Amino acid sequence: MLRLLLKLLSFVTGQRLLTPEQAASQQLELNDLRSKQTALESLSSKLRSEMKRQQALAREQLKETQKSHEQMLLAQQSEIDSLKEALGQLNLSVDIETQRQMKENNDLLSQLNWLSGTIAHDFRAPLRAIDAYSFFLADDLGENAPPEASKSLEEIRRNGKRMGVLLDALIEYLRLGVCPLNVQLHDLNETLLQVVNEHFGFSPVPIEIQVQGKWRFDKPMMMKAFKELLDNAVKFSKPVESPKIIVRQSSPSNLEIIDNGVGFSETHDAQKFQLFHRMHGNDEFEGEGIGLATAERIASRHHITLKLNRVGNQTVASLQLPERGSF
């Protein structure tokens, strides 16, 4: 009866009227919705708080990262400044060392020039006098001079000339140790052929060149070293049957001058590059013990290792570049 009355009133008023049960049900749904709304608002508030906390944490982390980067950059800059300072000190030290070496070289050159002048005038004057008075004495004695006296006078003059050669060699040896180097890249084959053509065009011993590639060196000085080594090989190869000299490379950084000459005794091994040391007597071969010492001096100036060894019936003079391959 109540439901019928409510329907009639709803029709008359145009509004939907609920029964108490329906109203109670809707109130429960409304309360549930309000509870859910409250829960959502609480969750939303928590999310906003968490977002703010995360944003604050991110800002702190960003600040820490920026601070760490700034500190790292400052440390790197400090290290760079330290390296710059160290490099500056090193350059200053190098400049000072270079200036010191230049001063020493200039002092050595000055001493060498003084020594050259002294030898040219003071030392040679007695030699010239010995030679001149020996000649005058021989002329005064004429044909009546005893054979022993003539022989003695010839020996005096010969040794005087030899002394002059030794003095020249000493000056040249000293000069090679201090003179400036003009180091450039040069073709080995071309340089050796030039040495052979200029100094060994009429050599009784054939010279075969088997080299290629380029080395860095002062060309006039290395040509002199090659000339001395080849001259040494030719001199000691002439007495043997079918003499031959081969210039070859065992590697791009090692050059060998090989001859099948008479070689040398092991007793001379320690002194073979010593100035004025001779490995054979005057009655066997000419020479003053200058060539090998000169070649070794030039090689040393270029940081090249010169070795001379007897291998079987061959003598091998090897020129070895330093490990970096050039100088």
CATH number of the structural domain 184-320: 3.30.565.10
- d(C-alpha 163, C-alpha 170), whole Å: 11
pTM to 2 decimal places: 0.61
22 vs 154: which has the higher pLDDT: 154
Dihedral angle sign, alpha carbons of residues 111, 115, 121, 126: positive
pLDDT in tens, 166-213: 888 888 887 787 778 889 999 999 999 999 999 988 888 889 999 999
Are 207 and 229 contacting, i.e. CB atoms less than 8 angstroms apart? Answer: no
Taking each helix axis from N to C terminus, what angle separates 147-178 and 20-118, rounded to the nearest 10 degrees?
Answer: 160
pLDDT of the residue at 33: 78
Helix segments in the chain, DSSP class H: 2-13, 20-118, 124-141, 147-178, 188-199, 219-237, 291-301
For Cα atoms 203, 204, 208, give the angle at the middle one, nearest 5 degrees.
Answer: 70
- 312 exposed, middle or buried (CB, 10 Å; 0-12, 13-18, 19+)? exposed
pLDDT of the residue at 187: 95
160 vs 105: which has the higher pLDDT: 160
- Mean pLDDT to the nearest integer, 81-107: 72
